[in-house]
Chains A and B, each alone.
Chain A
Amino acid sequence: MKILIVGGWKKADFLTKSLLEKKHQVVIIHDDHSYCQFLSRTYGVPVICGDGSEPYILEEADINGYDVVIALTPKDEDNLVICQLAKKQFNIKKSFAIVGNPKNVQIFKKLGIDTVISSAYVASNIIEQMATVEEISNYIPLDNGQVGLMEIFIKENSSICNKIISNIDFPKEAIIACIIRGFNTVIPKGDTKILPQDKLIILSSPEIQNKIIKFISERSEN
């Protein structure tokens, strides 16, 4: 794919590296001259120095026919205008923006930006989950926290340990997406047995996570 990245420091750096490794074509716009030089020297991709919300700078980047625009500047309003110009003037189909103000996630989606991420929102979500719930060893919010994947460790005394999945009265609002068993991954079926030391990857909405954790960490009677 052909991808335009506007602004962003470390994020632009990591993203460019990762996209190039996957053989995507990348062009970058950044407003800091020395960072432009760094990116250009490091990756050998076209880098345009300037304000990406200015149509003449976008023109210079020669982005007609590009597939994706990714706006990473620190100002929410700039990211909005970058994405809208890319769409309306340069016909880029897919737009992606980060926002500083978490309230702008929904607003930007309504204003036509395809994917909007608030790093403050996502990071605080992960930290909160990992800091407050000891059973969860990892948590990944998806679609801005509307659903999430959590990783739960199964102890010997868990109520679901050594049971067959179809015999467990698992909360309906969640599914066990995968079981990590040592170095293997098991895609669970009805007849899969849950063993001690398993790590369950569970997909659910955030509201019922506590219910699931309570259910799993309940001690078995024997």
Chain B
Amino acid sequence: MNIRDKYIVIVGCSYFGSNIAASLSEIGNDVIVIDIDEEALDKLPLSYSGFKIKGDATDIEVLEEAKLRNADLLLLSTHSDNKNIMIAEIAREYFNVNKIISRLYNLDKEIVYKGLDIEIIRPAELAINEFKNILQNE
């Protein structure tokens, strides 16, 4: 990753979210992680030097507290596709965040993101491709 000196908001301190947060903060970005669960925020390693907010990011006030308006990048990595969708749409419509990346487990729901300029990470597709790669290399 070669992003530096950016303001990055990460919602959902999942295994995925916390690891991305740690590495982005280590290379010199301003990072803030939001999670509804205090214990999830404990997953962040000691090397993480950014901020943490305990709160429900589907509440617009929590997004305002995180100063989402100033964010260069927003990553949605909660375990709920529906929460990721809702927050991504609010970020696009109300905060005009430059780059929004959202994780989507259920590919059938992709249609709701159509036309919104939101990048999607599809774990199911990644796993399927990896599975095929492994078989191909044998």
Q: How many A-B residue pairs have CB under 8 A?
A: 54
A 64-108 binary contact with B (CB < 8 Å = 1; else 0): 000000000001111011001100110000000000010110010
Which of A48-56, A127-135, A138-146 touches B?
Answer: A48-56
Known contacts A81-B85, A107-B94, A110-B93; A88 and B112 CB within 8 A of each other: yes
CB-defined contacts of B109 to chain A, threshold 8 Å: 53, 55, 81, 85
- Does A89 lie within 8 Å of B82, measured CB to CB? no
Chain A facing B: main interface SS: helix
Interface of B is mostly: helix
* Number of residues on chain A facing chain B (CB within 8 A): 20
Instruction: Identify the stretch in B15-23, B55-63, B119-127 within 8 Å (CB) of chain A at 4 or more residues.
Output: B55-63
Do residues A80 and B86 form an inter-chain contact, with CB atoms below 8 A?
A: yes
Chain A residues near B114 (CB-CB < 8 A): 88
Chain B residues near A85 (CB-CB < 8 A): 109, 111-112
Contact A77 B86 (CB under 8 A): yes
B129 within 8 A of A: no
1/0 contact string of B63-83 vs chain A (CB within 8 Å): 000000000000000001111
A103 x B111 contact (CB < 8 A) = no
- Flag if A111 contacts B89 (CB, 8 Å): yes
B120 to chain A, nearest CB (A): 15
Report B's interface with A, CB cutoff 8 A: 58-61, 80-83, 85-86, 89-90, 93-94, 106, 108-109, 111-112, 114
Residues of A near any B CB (own CB < 8 A): 53-56, 75-78, 80-81, 84-85, 88-89, 101, 103-104, 107, 110-111
